[in-house]
Structure 1
Amino acid sequence: MGTTRDEDSIENGHNQEAVAGHEREEETLHRRKLMGDSKDEVEDEVKEIQSIEMIFKDTKVPSWQSQLTVRAFVVSFVLGILFTFIVMKLNLTSGIIPSLNVSAGLLGFFFVKTWTKFLDKSGLLKQPFTRQENTVIQTCVVATSGIAFSGGFGSYLFGMSEIIANQSTTANDSQNIKNPSLSWIIGFLFIVSFLGLFSVLPLRKIMVIDYKLIYPSGTATAHLINSFHTPQGAKLAKKQVKALGKFFSFSFLWGFFQWFFTSGDGCGFASFPTFGLKAYENRFYFDFSATYVGVGMICPYIINISLLVGSILSWGIMWPLIENRKGDWYSKDLSPSSLHGIQGYRVFISISLILGDGIYNFFKVLSRTIVGLSHQLRNKDPNSILPLADKTSAEAKAASFDDQCRTEMFLRDQIPSWLAVSGYVIIAAISTAVLPQIFKQLEWYYVIVIYIFAPALAFCNAYGCGLTDWSLASTYGKLAIFTIGAWAGKDNGGVLAGLAACGVMMNIVATASDLMQVFNNSIPIFPSLHPFEASVLHIHKCLRDQFLTKRLPLIQDFKTGYMTLASPRSMFVSQIIGTAMGCVISPCVFWLFYKAFDDLGIPGSEYPAPFALVYRNMAILGVEGFSSLPKNCLTLCYIFFAGAIVINMIKDVTPNKYAKYIPLPMAMAIPFYLGSYFAIDMCVGSLILFVWEKINKAKADAFGPAVASGLICGDGIWTLPSSILALAGVKPPICMKFLSKNTNNKVDAFLSS
């Protein structure tokens, strides 16, 4: 994630700087040493410029039905559960979710490859493992775990609950509350999660073939999968899996070890006052979380620095100053969690930063989308191929061969347009009738209005994401909160109606583009590199450039399938099956958290679900205005709202070599409410990667994402046994707590008396 946004790359997304031949050869030699290849073997390969599809020309592409194997969906189901736990934990702690696509693709490849190798040795292998089947697994897993985010378990859906409503003195009446229940959550997700799939189906040829949009995330994932199925990529994948497994084990065992010391509130390593007790009171400490160390290794450096800057600005400067105004700006008698006190400043100033950043990027990407679309329509040449920068004739020929193979395969298994239209209409009709039964406050005509505008918004989002890799799904969701909430009104359950409308809109639009990507940019394509080399560069840059993400959308999946020769039909079916699995798995995992942890959603707890309160308060603002804000809070909100826009403008007009040091307002906003403990963890992860890159950059590029994924996966999956222990009433045997000298003397005196 070391690159930053380059605005020129948006205008000229395909015209990236070619890698110089001499530098490319040296880099190739360096990278291939990781796999133990001899210098002669590497040099022979570097001399030959070969297309990706030329490597697979002797491999028969299976039919779309053969790409959908039972083993693929069994592996997808297992990995879907694993990643759902990880995403759910991140969702309910800080809301920062890195891209897990490399882990899904890597583990899917490893499991099926191991199984097929065993069958092959036994003479029982009937169907070899192909890159098309690997694409199906990756698509299905990401679609499954994606529901854990787009389902709103850490935002709009949990924001409806009584737990979150009780943290506010306004709009906490019964008509604005709906507590979680497995039955209605599963039903709601099944109704809203599939509509977006049908809304973007007619766009697949336009976006991928006609306009040749790059879709950086989908392209990077395709290069990853293609490389796995080359001899060189398979060697590296084996080593990457080994590294992932090693750090997975370490992370899991570390979580298990920490559990023994957490028998009470404020106990354990997570409460270690690293920088002193005063800093700990202001939430500055390292909490020994392997998850966020891993997340820090995946997120870009500027994101982690932005989080730290936001932490220092809020908890280091602003909140102590505002607390000194207690009794003047707000009452001394209020509880620390009251939104009329210091908590109100934390929440609403954070919201103002989020909205300022979101609105700026909404208009920025929308304008670029309109300009890009008009340019495409004026200059559309259906016979043109993807332009490649500084191509030699041999490279251009290879690229042309790739395009011919991919276009032929992509157009072979078409999905009828009538299926998309009829599917959308039928699901829209069903949900229009059923959603008002789930949410009484959400009138049927609100739903119809959303479904009328959603396809157009989905198209804009899909096209904008194809140009820039920026998704505005969350911005459209916030727009639905304010418009539908205000339309319903304060006295008619407008808060609940707005949150429900947010869920409907986000699920439709998010399918057409990456969900909640706050920091992305176009990823350079290196078509002259060997597929293995390209995959390392692509996936490293892709992961390092994604801040928050949930899943590859359908169009992104079509782009991935296009580049791996996977059938559009198999992509669509795997999305359908993955989404269906996610609609059941995610609510069940959330229910486990909900029942196992009594303090779920409470500020300062292990799982505070910060965005649930943020989304609910957005809905309250939409129906009540600013009357509920504490003194001078509105003025500060205006300042930070404008500040977010100004910072983005400065970042966009500043040359890239300086702009990469300017912090991001969205990232700065998160610790305003939560504190800096996870930001410090993530900065430690960045420091580890930075030192690793200085020592051996090639190895850090190749194995950094695998190590980070292992740390995230191990700590994330520990949540399952810890939840089961909590449900069974098993308590840790030890409480490790840290006290000041005076407090400790008082405790000693009390115990000795």
Structure 2
Amino acid sequence: MEEEGKAKGEEAFRNTRVPPWTKQITVRSVVTSFVLSVVFNFIVCKLNFTTGIIPSLNVAAGLLGFALIKSYTTLLSNCGLLGEPFTRQENTVIQTFVVAASGIAFSSGMGSYLLGMSPYIGAQLNGGNTPINTKGLSLGWMFAFLFVVSFVGLFSIVPLRKLMILKYKLTYPSGTATALLVNSLHTPKGAKLAKKQVAVLFKSFSGSFVFGFFQWFFTAGDDCGFSSFPTFGLKAYSKMFYFDFSPTYVGVGMICPYVINASLLLGAVISWGILWPWIEHKKGIWYSADLPTSSLNGVQGYRIFTAIAMMLGDGLYHCIIMLLRVAYSLISQYIQKKESSSANHEDADQNTSDDLDSQLRTEYFSKDQIPSWVAFSGYIVLAVISIITVSHIFPQLKWYHVLITYLIAPVLAFCNAYGCGLTDWSLASNYGKVAIIIFSSWVGLENGGIIAGLASCGVMMSIVSTASDLMQDFKTGYLTLASPRSMFASQVLGTFTGCLVSPLMFWFFHKAYTLGDPQGSYPAPYGEVYRGMALLGAKGFSSLPQHCLQLAIIFFFSAMLINIVHDLLLHYETRYKLHRFVPNPMALAIPFYLGGYFAIDMCIGSLILFLWEKRNKQKANDFGPVLASGLICGDSLWSVPAAILSLAGVNPPICMKFLSSAMNKRVDTFLNGV
């Protein structure tokens, strides 16, 4: 039935000509893609600097690309200027361009490993804050670093595209879902639905933007405004439990799976509700009572390193499982191919209509070749340039360190791209964390091991992340009959745009706000977390406060145990589907550092979607992601005028702050005395 449905999908386009690959990339598609890339880079940067949770924005990219080009072509048609028809291949190119550009905003490490190099983050950790272990942030070296590392991953996986998609027939769920969206938008029924979706997107975007503007008036000082509203009381507020009226994270919660949002809330309860209050009672016993709250040798050290331990445990487990799964799948494919080769003659005459779809797609996917020699020579040349440049930008990371990274990276890129095709889960950040520990330990603290570890993380993440993203997009192109050459070209253009725009976006936030301040608007938690990993690798466990190592070990193995329980239930228990209720260790760990305020926002988003699905599941499926995307875009884009006002010295007129009754009396007494 599934293949039949796909065949019917292609039947809808039987009278539509597939343009050559040079016509799939047009001036209007490039201009539209660039505009959307700037918008999406800003959104991803803002999410990076707040909680670091980035939802999939593929649906929003595909829909917004469709809406903008369709509006443009309709306007020209109404003016009597009939332009080229807007095809699904052109839509796919736009979506690929935008996702590639916004992907750089994540893999560039502006909110994680690059930010962790700064002296400001180094001063917060009270360890390794020496000139050789810090690097001042500047646009010059960030541009150079991104341009030499971001393109290598594109060439590492290109020769394997046919193997992954045609031979192994990997599903790539996100790529498939995006293709189905694009295909449906370009059918008569889909175009009608798209108009309604665009209307909902515009309304939610406008409402979110206006609400952000309204909130700004009440933020004239620290801890002012709706974002500091003590929803559950002042005691709960002091423990980071409150609803901060953020449309962004309500929207993110509508996109993320229920288990992620529930895991975030559970992690906040375990840490800020139970564990940290208990450790604070050990002040003066486990750690000095004179230490500031932000000291890594005090309670902050427990927060950072228990979160790191859970993330490392979760990442290491998934890396090992993914490698085993890839090996098992490859062996199974080989055995099945060997067994089926003898039986092929029996089925040779069963060429049914179910195969027509795949035959057509295979024909177009194989039509415009990207020669393997181009991929191999491109990888070698870019790797050599990168080795020279990266070792010059970061003298702590020697040329042979970078060379070893580039020798290992293609294998991990294959594993990540293959595993992403099976599970829809990219482990790029996990491979980057492993690189941090290995290279920071290898170089050592006195030789700049922190910077070496963080830089090697960037090299590894750029290759592994780009490879899986490219293969997802090849799957989308395969299902929409987009040429591999146009897909690769749009990836290159999107990567170039991301390398250009991401540092500028970072610099905009850097100048307008204090990035990495735990008490500020943009705490950028992963900057401190990634630097903490590098410090742990370079300095060893001696940097941890008393009993922190024992807690870290407990949480490290707890993350592994949770994953084992989940996988066992998924494999053996099918009646009640209990694996759905097993929390996600990575999501559990994030609130250990940040608190539960954003988890409450996201759970409210989940609740809205859940009630909507109960009332009308089809409408929730059609309009839920659209509504969420509008909330995220509107609230995020309000940050642009807000930051410009801040840079111009224009302050909000009102400070709305909440005090206890006792504190209010003291303030009144003081003011009356004055």
Does the C-alpha gap of structure 1 residues 383 and 707 become closer, same or farther in structure 2, counting only changes over 3 Å? farther
Partner of 2:15: 58
SS of the equivalent of 1:166 reads: helix
Alpha-carbon distance in structure 2 between the residues aligned to 1:313 and 1:140 = 41
1:618 aligns with 2:533: yes
Alignment of 1:423-438 (within 5 A): 423-438=378-393
For 2:165, the aligned partner's letter is V
Q: Is 1:643 the counterpart of 2:643 in the alignment? A: no
Partner of 1:404: 359
| Cα displacement (A) at 1:470 | 2.2
Choose the corresponding residue for 2:60, options 95, 103, 109: 103
Is 1:676 paired with 2:592? no
Q: Which residue of 2 aligns with 1:127?
A: 84
Is 1:84 matched up with 2:41? yes
Mapping 1:583-598, distance limit 5 Å = 583-597=499-513
Alpha-carbon distance, 1:360 to partner? 1.2
Moved more, 268-277 or 474-483: 474-483
Greater share of helix residues, 1 or 2? 2
Distance in 2, Cα, partners of 1:383 & 1:596? 63
**What amino acid does structure 1 have at the position aligned with 2:387?**
T
Distance in 2 separating the partners of 1:662 and 1:361: 16
- Contact kept, 8 Å, 1:130 with 1:229, in 2: the verdict is yes
Cα distance change of structure 1 residues 383 and 221 upon mapping to structure 2, 3 Å threshold: farther
Partner of residue 543, structure 1: none
Which amino acid in 2 is paired with 1:439? Answer: F
Is the aligned partner of 1:342 residue 2:299?
A: yes
Letter matched to residue 96 of structure 2: T
Distance 1:52 1:595 in 2: 49
Distance in 1 of aligned mates of 2:84 and 2:78: 13
Q: 2:104 aligns with which of 136, 147, 150?
A: 147
Partners in 1 of 2:99 and 2:283 — Cα distance?
A: 47
Match of 1:580 in 2: 496
The 1-side partners of 2:151 and 2:615 are apart by 47
- Aligned residue among 603, 606, 627 for 1:686: 606
Partner of 2:583: 663
- Which of 385, 398, 405 is matched with 1:443 structurally? 398
- State the alpha-carbon separation in 2 of the partners of residues 701 and 127 from structure 1: 32
* Structure 2: distance between partners of 1:352 and 1:141: 34
For the 8 Å contact 1:210–1:380, the answer to whether it is kept is: no
Instruction: Quote how far apart the aligned CAs of 1:157 are.
Output: 0.7
Corresponding residue for 1:711?
631
Match for residue 631 of structure 1 among 546, 559, 562: 546
Give secondary structure in 1 for the equivalent of 2:395. Answer: coil
Where does structure 1 lack aligned partners over 5 or more consecutive residues?
1-16, 20-45, 385-392, 514-552
Give the Cα–Cα distance (whole angstroms) in 1 for the partners of residues 543 and 470 of structure 2: 41
1:182 aligned partner: 139
- Tell me the residue number matched to 2:181: 224
Q: Is the 8 A contact 1:51 1:401 kept in 2?
A: no
8 A Cα contact 2:133 2:445, kept in partner: no
2:70 matches 1:113: yes
Q: Quote the Cα distance in structure 2 between the aligned partners of 1:49 and 1:485.
A: 49
Does the 8 Å contact 1:341/1:630 carry over to 2?
Answer: yes
With over 3 angstroms needed to count, the CA separation of the structure-2 counterparts of 1:49 and 1:479, relative to structure 1, is closer
State the one-letter code of the partner of 1:116: T
Q: 5+ unaligned residues in a row in structure 2: which ranges?
A: 342-348
Residues 6 and 357 of structure 2 are in contact (CA less than 8 Å); yes or no, is this contact kept in structure 1?
Answer: no
Structure-2 change in CA distance of 1:555 and 1:148 (3 Å): same
Match of 2:370 in 1: 415
Residue identity matched to 1:741? S
The letter for the 1-side match of 2:531 is: R
- Per-residue deviation, residues 117-156 of structure 1 (Å, max 9, x unmatched): 1112223223110000000000000111111110001110
TM-score by length of 1: 0.86
* Shift in Å, 1:484: 1.2
Q: Which residue of 2 aligns with 1:477?
A: 432
Runs of 4+ off more than 3 Å: 380-384, 396-399
Q: Which amino acid aligns with 1:639?
A: I
Q: Deviations over 1:230-277 (max 9, x none)?
A: 001111111111101100000001111101111111000000000100
Separation (CA, whole Å) in 1 of partners of 2:26 and 2:163: 29
**Root mean square deviation of aligned Cα:** 1.7
Question: TM-score if structure 2 supplies the norm length?
Answer: 0.96
Quick check: 469-478 or 696-705, which moved more? Answer: 469-478
1:214 aligns with 2:171: yes
Q: How does 1:158-177 map to 2 (within 5 A)?
A: 158-177=115-134
Map of 1:375 onto structure 2? 332
**Alpha carbons of 1:269 and 1:695: their partners in 2 closer, same or farther (altered >3 Å)?**
same
Q: Distance in 2 between matches of 1:428 and 1:57?
A: 43
Q: Which amino acid aligns with 2:440?
A: G
- Select which of 557, 561, 571 maps to 2:477: 561
What does the per-residue CA deviation read over 1:138-191, in whole Å, with 9 as the maximum and x for residues that have no partner? 000011111111000111010001111010221100111112111111111000
Q: Match of 2:583, as an amino acid?
A: P
- Counterpart CA distance in 1 for 2:82 and 2:310 is 56
Change (3 A) 1:397 1:255: farther
Contact 1:155/1:615, CA 8 A, preserved across alignment: yes
**1:491 aligns to 2:446 (yes or no):** yes
Deviates more, 1:438-447 or 1:468-477: 468-477
1:398 Cα deviation from its structure 2 partner: 4.3
Query: Is the CA contact 1:369–1:463 (under 8 Å) kept in the aligned structure 2?
Result: yes
Q: Distance in 2 between matches of 1:691 and 1:102?
A: 22
Q: Is the 8 A contact 1:67 1:132 kept in 2?
A: yes
1:474: how far off?
A: 1.3
| Aligned-residue identity in percent | 61
User: What are the Cα deviations for residues 669-716 of structure 1, in whole angstroms up to 9, with x where unaligned?
Assistant: 000000000000011111111111111111111100000111011001
- Partner residue of 2:423? 468
Q: What does residue range 284-433 of structure 1 map to in structure 2 within 5 Å?
A: 284-380=241-337, 397-433=352-388
Matched, 1:267 2:224: yes
Provide the C-alpha distance between the structure 1 equivalents of 2:97 and 2:475, rounded to a whole number of angstroms.
Answer: 15
Cα deviation per residue 1:602-642 (whole Å; 9 max; x = unaligned)?
Answer: 11211000011000010011111110111111111111111
